[in-house]
Structure 1
């Protein structure tokens, strides 16, 4: 049979379970079934692509890795606000001391 005839033969029998033999179950599927779209400003997109390249990963793999790495550590936004307010107070105190020393 020519290659064209073989191709036609296999195509005609593609759904024939007797022709194909027993189905072999797969141990697990690595198939990705969901897609999430993310938008970046151009300069951030460049940085993310560069980081993925430097890590030797595809962009998708890199973003999945980053997202999953930090998904176990949710951000406590109230704690962040308190910390920022405290840092602001300390900065104000430090600036006050500097102004006193410069004036004196």
Structure 2
């Protein structure tokens, strides 16, 4: 018979079940943790086409819609928005649009 450290998970399960009443056959102690109780509800609204996209993404990820949205929200909350960077980017985009409009007006006038 194989040693427990050489067994697959299925073999270990069978081994420990078979020897469950033998005091010397005990494996490592495993600490159990209580799952977090999800007791707070947050409501969110989507346009119908947005809801379809989000449901499809959750399904493709193999998650419930609730779990998927919770995962995405928590992942996004770990990446805070740099408002100064956003302001600079918007300002730069505005300047580029103004430059493009000036070129268009110059071409139309000429």
TM-score in terms of structure 2 length = 0.58
The answer to whether the aligner puts 1:93 opposite 2:99 as a matched pair is yes
Spell out structure 1 runs of 4+ moving beyond 4 A: none
Offset at 1:26?
A: 5.6
Matched residues, number: 80
TM-score in terms of structure 1 length = 0.61
The answer to whether the aligner puts 1:84 opposite 2:90 as a matched pair is yes
Unaligned 5+ runs, structure 1:
1-24
What corresponds to 1:7 in structure 2?
A: none
Offset at 1:59?
A: 0.6
- For 1:101 and 1:42, how far apart are their aligned partners in 2? 41
- After superposition, what is the alpha-carbon deviation per residue over 1:13-68, rounded to whole angstroms, capped at 9, x for unaligned? xxxxxxxxxxxx96112243332312213323333222212222111111121112
What corresponds to 1:34 in structure 2?
A: 39
What corresponds to 1:75 in structure 2?
A: 81
